[in-house]
Amino acid sequence: MKRIQLYDTTLRDGTQGEDVSFSVEDKLRIAQRLDAFGVDYIEGGWPGSNPRDLEFFRRARQLRLHHAKIAAFGSTRRAKNRVEEDLNILALLDAETSVVTIFGKSWILHVKQALQISEEENLEIISDSVAYLKSQGREVIYDAEHFFDGFKSDRSYALQTLKTAEAAGAEVLVLCDTNGGTLTHEVAEIVREVKKHIKSEIGIHTHNDCELAVANTLAAVQEGAVHVQGTINGYGERCGNANLCSIIPNLQLKLGYKCVEDEHLRRLTELSHFVSDLANLSHRKHLPFVGQSAFAHKGGVHVSAVMKSPATYEHIEPERVGNQRRVLVSDLSGRSNISYKSAELGIDIERAGEHLQEIVEDIKQKEFEGYRYEDADGSLELLIRRRLNDWQEFFDLEGFKVIIHKESKEEKPVSEALIKVRVGDECEHTAAEGNGPVNALDHALRKALEKFYPQLKEMHLADYKVRVLDGQDGTGAKVRVLITSRNSDASWNTVGVSTDIIEASWKALVDSIYYHLSRSSVGKAEAAVIR
């Protein structure tokens, strides 16, 4: 089984993506996680470009990595500089990494227009830079920037730049599709041709401007590249870099190459989420292999087949990359969806079987009204239990009033909610203020109920989202409210729909409280006594 070198550039190229930013502490934590996962090289940044990267390399010297090597990234020397005096080259050495990655020009367009030097001078720059870094005891990886465009423009010169870097001692020559515009068949043909002229190991670095970064990387490996560069989740400039979270399982599970140990591969989804969390970005649910939707099934026919044999609609076992199968419930659902979901929620599947069609019809009607249960398992479980009569009323609403008043243009608005609920034979009438009408209503309801259900103190609202449905109706449009609640053990989502945002919020809020109480054995016992 052929071994592929993994070179991660999330901490450098990945941070050039829009909205992506890591603190020094973030970068150190990601480096440790990448090392534990089995990445061979971790590109830490460009030490000559900013104080943050300088600080990272200073602190990275103290990291106890077990597998990966930290690489410092930078350019070849400037045209007018002596290599031993070039500030960029000196910064690379000052980073004190065992590996240095430098990029040079392969495309005559850049040589003449960007650098405004001769072809011969560009070759001297490449040779001087690689040779000097080698003389200082560094392992040198040479990134041939814009190589594929350069090859298509002047094949002979592009190959000459590689031979120059090879002769100067570079261990790996990385072919870069810097603009991301090369098609897959072109990548395969060019790598195949390069292999005829170059003895050093070949690497591949692609960008995703044509949505081909992963495909181009796989094609390059199949033609002989053994060093693969990319980022976690495909973060990177413009449309992003090649996504290692797709490349690694494709190479290892589909093409038979060895990238990481199998037990490490099972942590791929965890790694993907870890990096997106530190980037403070929502994890993209539709990412292949590691996304929440990668093994999610919605259509009834699909679910029915997957329940018999997962291979019918899953190209790999999700556990191999640390993901899991999900069955979604919506107006496209059939009886199989409900059966699977009921079992997943811990509901007696045999009892549910008698009511499956009724539950399917309930869901389809609710979805027609604007509800969505794909992300609202809490409300879905309550809907199923109501139909099964596995249900009890914890309280009855006798009315609420929400007041918003603003005393002047300068004053902030104040929200107040008054609520009256009945629990058993007792009636509770309370009021509370909040940051907004929904927050005030939440406070008032809790204030009324905590006397009867003290376990409500254990839960809190963690997230609140509103989506306008039928936007053409303007301010009279129907809205969907999704609430995420948490306690010490779990989190759950509930949903409410109405043309009135307060009413929609109330429905989601009540479901959230009911879910918490129904999951609490204490709550059930107390409800039975009160009733």
* 109 and 246 housed in the same domain: yes
Is 291 contained in some domain? Answer: no
pLDDT-above-70 percentage for the chain: 91
Give the best-scoring range by mean pLDDT among 239-248, 307-316, 366-375, 446-455. Answer: 239-248
- Give 321's pLDDT tier (boundaries 50, 70, 90): very high
User: CA 61, CA 10: separation in Å to the nearest integer?
Assistant: 19
Query: Which ranges of 41-154 would DSSP assign to H, the alpha helix?
Result: 51-60, 87-94, 108-109, 119-135, 147-153
Is 86 contained in some domain? Answer: yes
pLDDT top residue among 356 and 371: 371
* 373 and 487 housed in the same domain: no
Residues sharing a CB contact under 8 Å with residue 507, sequence separation 6 or more, in sequence order: 481, 495, 496, 497, 498
* Average pLDDT value for residue range 73-85: 94
Task: Specify the pLDDT at position 351.
Answer: 62
Is 97 contained in some domain? Answer: yes
Q: Give the C-alpha distances (Å, rounded to integers) separating 283 from 270, 279, 314.
A: 11, 10, 21
Query: Domain range holding 303?
Result: 296-387
Task: Specify the pLDDT at position 330.
Answer: 54
* 345 and 408 housed in the same domain: no
Task: Specify the pLDDT at position 529.
Answer: 40
User: CA 142, CA 224: separation in Å to the nearest integer?
Assistant: 17
User: Over 50: is that where the pLDDT of 522 sits?
Assistant: no
* 102 and 40 housed in the same domain: yes
Contact 168, 138 (CB under 8 A): no
pLDDT tens track for 161-203:
999 999 999 999 999 999 999 999 999 999 999 999 999 999 9
Tokens 């960008």 sit at which residue?
207
* 428 and 517 housed in the same domain: yes
* 122 and 223 housed in the same domain: yes
Of the residues 387, 417, 440, the one at which a domain ends: 387
* Average pLDDT value for residue range 311-315: 87
Of the residues 338, 358, 387, the one at which a domain ends: 387
- Give 531's pLDDT tier (boundaries 50, 70, 90): very low
- Give 103's pLDDT tier (boundaries 50, 70, 90): very high
pLDDT tens track for 257-270:
999 999 999 999 99
* 373 and 400 housed in the same domain: no
Domain count, the chain: 3
Give the best-scoring range by mean pLDDT among 73-77, 435-439, 516-520. Answer: 73-77
* 407 and 359 housed in the same domain: no
pTM, to two decimals? 0.72
Is 464 contained in some domain? Answer: yes
The rounded mean pLDDT for the chain is 89
**What is the number of residues in the chain?**
531
Task: Specify the pLDDT at position 338.
Answer: 67
Task: Specify the pLDDT at position 388.
Answer: 76
Contact 437, 502 (CB under 8 A): yes
* 365 and 415 housed in the same domain: no
Task: Specify the pLDDT at position 471.
Answer: 57
Q: Give the C-alpha distances (Å, rounded to integers) separating 25 from 31, 34, 92, 135, 279.
A: 10, 14, 21, 32, 12
Task: Specify the pLDDT at position 513.
Answer: 92
Task: Specify the pLDDT at position 444.
Answer: 93
* 305 and 209 housed in the same domain: no
Is 64 contained in some domain? Answer: yes
pLDDT tens track for 408-459:
888 888 899 999 999 988 999 999 998 888 889 999 998 999 989 998 988 8
Is 122 contained in some domain? Answer: yes
Task: Specify the pLDDT at position 530.
Answer: 39
pLDDT tens track for 189-238:
999 999 999 999 999 999 999 999 999 999 999 999 999 999 999 999 99
- Give 527's pLDDT tier (boundaries 50, 70, 90): very low
Please report, for the domain that includes residue 519, its CATH number: 3.30.160.270
Is 278 contained in some domain? Answer: no
* 48 and 168 housed in the same domain: yes
User: Over 90: is that where the pLDDT of 354 sits?
Assistant: no
